[in-house]
Amino acid sequence: MNQLDALKRHTTVVADTGDFLQIAQFQPRDATTNPSLILKSVRKPEYAPLLDEVLRRHRNRARDEQVDRLLVRFGTEILRIVPGRVSTEVDARLSFDTAATVERARRLIALYEAEGVPRERVLIKIAATWEGIRAAERLERDGIHTNLTLLFSFCQAVACADAGVRLISPFVGRIYDWHKARAGAQWSEAAMAGPADPGVQSVARIWRHYKHFGIATEVMGASFRNTGQILALAGCDLLTISPELLARLADTPGDVAPQLDPDEARRADLPEVHYRAADEAAFRLALNDDAMATEKLAEGIRLFAADAHTLDALLASR
């Protein structure tokens, strides 16, 4: 048995890529995309015909609609391969606009449904800002399921649960990056590996909180830097993994033991915490008190927005 097959016994494996030609070999249940991953894929020669087709069919549409149609085109191809769901992201430049996020999400779902894809197979990815969480709350009430991304803090996870979102994607690797950079020469890779990794600890804390209080929101660890982080979260609801790390797991023989115990989580003595729609000030203060989460959320939005601008320019150039 290889580690990828062993991991699948405890956790739903998700492919983190827009490169649908790579996905089938790993047999994931779901797949996640974002504008950065789509941008990476459309720059490859093998995807040029798909890009040209979208532009040819929708040349007279506004640029933002062309982008959405491109995202949906990739998503529908992915859904021909995976049996579960695909996550498609709302433009990060709308991260602080609740109404615009809702409108864009509804358009993405309408485009999928026009292609014969039921909304149950799509998760709309939204940045876990206060405005994004409120947008997700509205969408969930309308039967449009969401994946809250760029999630770095416990308060974001609690607010997402209060809003009834379907799934959250706490980022492991970017938390690890921040702490490693902050520690500088004092960082010990060996001492901070596995369960001691700050990114792993963040996801594990959220997962235990959800299981302890019977919260239905799914936890999907994301943004991994190495297979050790992945294996340390065996037993998490889902893990979304890049093709490079999926290949490394598939090439490594051995068993994988679950690291997260739902019975232990249910027995734990944990405080009840809420950040509901009326708690905006408390949420913003809690997020502000977490320097890592504040910095990484802002940085993540900037990076995704920059790639969205680049994708716009690429479409314009053709």
Domain ranges of the chain: 3-317
User: Please, how many CA atoms are within 13 Å of residue 199, restricted to the half-sphere of its CB?
Assistant: 30
Which run of H or of E encompasses 127? strand 122-127
Active site residues: 125
Copy the structure tokens of residue 32.
């996640």
Q: Tell me yes or no: is domain 3-317 CATH 3.40.50.620.
A: no
| pTM beyond 0.75 | yes
Cα-to-chain-centroid distance, residue 24: 20
From first to last of its 318 residues, the chain has per-residue pLDDT tens of 999 999 999 999 999 999 999 999 999 999 999 989 999 999 999 999 999 999 999 999 999 999 999 999 999 999 999 999 999 999 999 999 999 999 999 999 999 999 999 999 999 999 999 999 999 999 999 999 999 999 999 999 999 999 999 999 999 999 999 999 999 999 999 999 999 999 999 999 999 999 999 999 999 999 999 999 999 999 999 999 999 999 999 999 999 999 999 999 999 999 999 999 999 999 999 999 999 999 999 999 999 999 999 999 999 998
